[in-house]
Amino acid sequence: MREAVLGLPDQLRWAASLDPGEIPAADTVLVAGMGGSGISGDVATLLAGEAGTFCTVHKGYGLPAWAQTQRPLLVAVSYSGNTEETLSVVEEAAAAGLEGVAVSTGGRLAEVAAAHQWPHLQVPAGLQPRAALGYLAGTVARVLEAAGAAPAQGPALTEAAAVAAELLGPDLTGPAAGLSADLAEGLGDRIALIYGGQGLGAVAAQRWKTQLNENAKWPAFWNVIPELNHNEIVGWGAIPQLTRRDVGIISLRDRGEPARVGRRFELTAEIIAADVGIVGEVSSQGQSILARLISLLVVADALSLELAARKGIDPLPVEPIDKLKRSLA
Ligand code: PA5
């Protein structure tokens, strides 16, 4: 997993030079995918937003009803190519006559794409899906660009690769390692709660949560400012002796966040500080949306490895996920 984390800049460079081929034009996009693949759909919503394109991600079975009438381009993403929820979306989309694009290492998704004459973009195999973020999100970014649903992504992917390489440093000796060591120390044995700002911060917070879950086998949750200002901040008052001891909040700040969101981060910390642990804050770097997002995500990667190392846990296997999939098969 450490090697895969260090390989993120190369994955992003690979995507920067990818030619996605002929992709149908789209003014509405639906990305389908689960877990480590589905997060590419969340990234896609940010990139499409730059072009004013409606793009949403579906993480579940079947085709959402709106897609039957709005007829988006379906981008189905599954690293293995065998995830049943995603395959069910593809089957219903094909039956409804939607245009589609498939992204996977192979698997059943590649076969179904071929059967429907959908473009299939093959990403390199041999990784855990969550460790292939650069390949998957990068490929989806290039698909959106080719569909006219997002601006040109080559420069942003190249910038994101440079920002990631700088933060990771050679053999994980860069700023992300120091930052994650401090966060791990501050977090201690507490449940991690990740707060992000609307848009980019929310995507980052979700990925932080899942990287801590899967790599460090750590309990982690996430929420978004401003929405949590309208509910969650009220919920810290009842059992502060427990929440102060057992929950640690890490805030993700984006240099592009709206000023009012920034002010809300500050006020939120003041209001809840007595009732819950405040561990620290991480700020984005870079210019493009992709680079700023990736700059936050590499710290999550580093923290997940740090927490795993402190517990003597192997970050690679995800036995509960495998067990569930075996039971369903
Ligand atoms: O991280 C993981 O292994 C999971 O979240 C998978 O990504 C998820 O189960 C979906 O599998 P796939 O990415 O192969 O479609």
Alpha-carbon dihedral 226, 228, 230, 232, rounded to 10 degrees: -160
What pLDDT was estimated at residue 29? 98
- In a mutational test of the pocket of ligand 1, which residue from 37, 59, 323 has the highest number of ligand atoms less than 8 Å from its CB? 37
What pLDDT was estimated at residue 148? 98
What pLDDT was estimated at residue 249? 98
214: Cα separation from own chain's centroid? 13
What pLDDT was estimated at residue 57? 98
Rounded to the nearest angstrom, the distance between the alpha carbon of 130 and the centre of ligand 1 is 7
* Residue ID of nearest Cα to ligand 1 atom 8: 35
- Ligand 1 atom closest to the CA of 77, numbered from 1: 15
Note whether 107 and 114 are within 8 A (CB).
no
- Please tell me the distance from the alpha carbon of residue 236 to that of residue 243, in angstroms, as a whole number: 7
Name every protein residue with a CB atom under 6 angstroms from any ligand 1 atom: 34-37, 78-80, 83, 86, 128-130, 214, 318, 321
Q: Is 328 exposed, middle or buried (0-12, 13-18, 19+ CB in 10 A)?
A: exposed
- Please tell me the distance from the alpha carbon of residue 306 to that of residue 107, in angstroms, as a whole number: 33
Beta strands, E only, 168-286: 191-197, 220-225, 247-253, 277-283
| Sheet with strand 100-104: strands edge to edge | 54-58, 28-32, 73-77, 100-104, 120-122
Rounded to the nearest angstrom, the distance between the alpha carbon of 138 and the centre of ligand 1 is 17
- Ligand 1 atom closest to the CA of 318, numbered from 1: 3
Residue range 241-296, pLDDT digits in tens: 999 999 999 999 999 999 999 999 999 999 999 999 999 999 999 999 999 999 99
Supply the residues annotated as catalytic: 214, 230, 325
- Please tell me the distance from the alpha carbon of residue 219 to that of residue 105, in angstroms, as a whole number: 29
Rounded to the nearest angstrom, the distance between the alpha carbon of 238 and the centre of ligand 1 is 37
Note whether 39 and 161 are within 8 A (CB).
no
| Sheet with strand 220-225: strands edge to edge | 220-225, 191-197, 247-253, 277-283
- Please tell me the distance from the alpha carbon of residue 31 to that of residue 75, in angstroms, as a whole number: 5
Rounded to the nearest angstrom, the distance between the alpha carbon of 142 and the centre of ligand 1 is 21
- From residue 69, alpha-carbon distances to 63, 98, 172 in Å are 11, 10, 48
Low-confidence residues of the chain: pLDDT under 50: none
Number of Cβ atoms within 10 Å of the Cβ of 6: 18
- Please tell me the distance from the alpha carbon of residue 302 to that of residue 305, in angstroms, as a whole number: 5
- In a mutational test of the pocket of ligand 1, which residue from 5, 79, 103 has the highest number of ligand atoms less than 8 Å from its CB? 79
* Residue ID of nearest Cα to ligand 1 atom 7: 36
What pLDDT was estimated at residue 106? 98
What pLDDT was estimated at residue 266? 98
Structure-token match 């309208």, residue found: 230
What pLDDT was estimated at residue 42? 98
Q: Is the dihedral of CA 34, 38, 42, 47 positive or negative?
A: negative
Strands 28-32 and 54-58 come out as parallel
What pLDDT was estimated at residue 102? 98
Rounded to the nearest angstrom, the distance between the alpha carbon of 83 and the centre of ligand 1 is 7
* Residue ID of nearest Cα to ligand 1 atom 3: 129
* Residue ID of nearest Cα to ligand 1 atom 15: 78
What pLDDT was estimated at residue 197? 98
What pLDDT was estimated at residue 24? 97
- In a mutational test of the pocket of ligand 1, which residue from 83, 211, 328 has the highest number of ligand atoms less than 8 Å from its CB? 83
